[in-house]
A and B are shown apart, each in its own frame.
Chain A
Amino acid sequence: MKRHGILSFLAMTLLSASAFAAPLKIMTTTEDLAAIAREVAGDHAEIQSIARGYQDPHFVDAKPSYLLKLKRADLLIVVGLELEVGWLPSLLTNARNPKILPGSPGFLQASEGCKVLQRRDGAIDRSMGDIHSEGNPHYWLDPENGRVIARHVAAKLAALDPANATDYQTRLAAFEEKLTAREKEWTTIAEGFKGVKVITYHNSFPNFARAFNINVVNTVEPKPGIPPSPGHVRALLAQIRAEKIPLILVEPYFDDKLSAKIARDAGATLLTFPPSVGGSPAVKTYFDLFDVDLNMIADALAKRGGK
């Protein structure tokens, strides 16, 4: 009897240990990927992002404190398309974690299968600014790409953690269902300003513009990563006046003084416009990102219309 008691105690312990297995540790390079991964992984993973949503993901210091997190990770999800080229390679080389190196099971480049815009097939050089030859890396701003990313994450999680594969599929289905429903709402909001002309600070929004019929006619940066010259500012002022462009969208990590002056002088409205989850306190999930951004445009245009 005593022996049976010990055996059942051991069996219970083992069962409970497997039921409460340590959650997967997932690192992502951006908060957007972390937000999508949270939708799919639920409580089965601890997920952290290296870059904050209010931080320019092109310019992140490769701090050794990130190595501590990367070395314990089971899965690393990256944007790719050279967005992280200035800082991720040295972190990966020094993280001493073979599981998450490119080509390993614990590495996922989220861009696979996504609609990527502005690929450069011809010769490029740095006179064109910070060009990404493989395409514009801000592709998560199209919700359909978010769907593709979520599917990738679910497949990867199922491979790494087969015990919970069914749960990941269930959560993916719920995410997709919610996304489909919200896309209808977002499309309705965007119908209200179909074809609106905007100027953005950096070339961050081609996917967003394509998804919601917004017309990005120029950028405050004359070329990616190059600050505006006086000549370019004069050209922008003339263009905004001539084409009656109502909005200038500035990512939260860029200094908006000059953009505000251009908006003031030319009669446009400046919006600090989050391109990422965490880019403003209101954007906590992937769904919030489109809710906040689209309503921000709609509200700003409504206010201008009411003047």
Chain B
Amino acid sequence: MRHRLTFLFVSFLASTCLFAQEPAVPGAWPQAAASGALQASNVLNPNVSAIGWFQAEAGHRKPGPGDAADDGDSFQMKEVELGFQSIVDSWARADFFVSVSREEVDLEEGTLTWFRLPFDLALKVGKFKANFGRFNRIHTPETPFADRPLVQQNYLGDEGLNGSGVSLSWHVPNPWLFVNLDAEAISAPREDENPTFGRAGQKDIVYVGRLGGFTDLSEAWNVTFGASAALGHAGEEVDEISGSTTTLRSRLYGADLTFRWKNIRRAIYRSFAWSTEALWSRRDATVADVEDSHGFFSTMDYQFAQRWHTGVRYDYSQFPNDGRRHEEGHLVYLTYAPSEFSQLSLQGRQVRRADGELEDLMFLKSTFNVGPHGAHPF
């Protein structure tokens, strides 16, 4: 049996070699094909990038409901995010982001975007982070923080609200300011993937929309604002007596506001950003009972020298299935970036959990980037 397997393996290798030497076109020179002289040059390869995220942590974790996935080790190579980005053809581009962590290899995003459509439209299909608020779309290694804000964690989960689906984006024509409307439909996440939405059936869909705007207030100041909504199912309730099932619904509404300042005459030395996102949840706890809850975070970042940033964040969050209790937290950080491609950030976070317990943690977050990782949304 072993001999047969070996023979099969050797035959397979031999046939692959033979096949490789076979000219692709009858009459073509096999040497040229083998030497690669007729291959397209590397310039048509996609842009390949990798972002490493290492983190050291000190303190005792007292995990909240949204923290279950965090392991809390002293040293954590949290993940490597691999990016492959390229123009596909005359009409579309593709972007793939794969995260490799200790637990899993996960396709974070994989999208095909048609950006040459008429009427100021763009259409995206694939797996992506939903356009709910601003923060949800940012991959954690690229945020200034060692964690995700409590409200994001509690309502949108570790990886944010994401899924496979379709996204249509429209630049709303008007002469005054930039306005964009996004309408998305994604397959509903499973209940263990997302704290707000679940499935009543396999074909369940979460509908997401965001109306966002941007305007310059002056050469240095600008403001970004948006209103979002996500509608889907929370799961289903089974009547134990009749055996009938009723679908439970979940509705999430969000608002975001970001002010930025940067003197463009000294753009690489000083900048300031103040960003706030709030969300409100209406979730059917049972057929007869709706749970209302909310939360928000507000953060300021000040770049005080070419390579230095400092910032603070305040978190307040209730829970999708419990609007009577809340937790709140504070985070401060000091970040040094030797270049645009690496940074080291010392962070301290205190969270008062819903049961009144205090959790104090220190983080040292290090991210490092090789390759031309594409820019993230402004």
Q: Residues of A with Cβ closer than 8 Å to B?
A: 52, 54-56, 59-65, 67-68, 71, 85-87, 89-90, 93-94, 96, 98, 101, 103, 126, 225-227, 252-253, 255
Contact = CB atoms under 8 A, between A and B. Distances in A.
Given A71-B171, A227-B307, A255-B266, A64 B178 contact: yes
B268 A56 contact: yes
Interface stretch (B49-57, B115-123, B195-203, B312-320): B115-123
A96 to B, nearest CB: 5
B375 A255 contact: no
Interface in B143-194: 171, 177-178, 180
Given A71-B171, A89-B375, A54 B214 contact: no
A54 B340 CA distance: 22
A255 B269 contact: yes
Contacts of A252: 265
B378 A61 contact: yes
A61 B121 CA distance: 23
Contact of B222 (A54, A63, A98, A227): A63
A226 B339 contact: yes
B307 A87 contact: no
A90 B375 contact: yes
A253 B93 contact: no
Contacts of A52: 219, 264
Contact of A59 (B177, B216, B267, B341): B267
Contacts of B262: 61
27 contacts: A52-B219, A52-B264, A54-B265, A55-B267, A56-B267, A59-B267, A59-B268, A60-B267, A61-B262, A61-B267, A63-B216, A63-B222, A63-B378, A65-B177, A67-B171, A87-B375, A90-B378, A94-B115, A96-B116, A96-B121, A103-B90, A126-B339, A226-B339, A252-B265, A253-B264, A253-B265, A253-B268
B122 to A, nearest CB: 6
A56 B57 CA distance: 38
B378 A227 contact: no
B375 A96 contact: no
Interface residues of B, number: 35
B52 to A, nearest CB: 14
Given A55-B265, A56-B268, A62-B375, 11 more contacts: A55-B267, A56-B267, A60-B267, A65-B214, A68-B177, A89-B375, A90-B378, A96-B120, A252-B265, A255-B266, A255-B269
Contact of B378 (A62, A89, A255): A62
Contact of A253 (B116, B214, B266, B340): B266
A253 B90 CA distance: 37
Nearest to B369: A126
Given A227-B307, A252-B265, A93 B120 contact: no
B11 interface: no
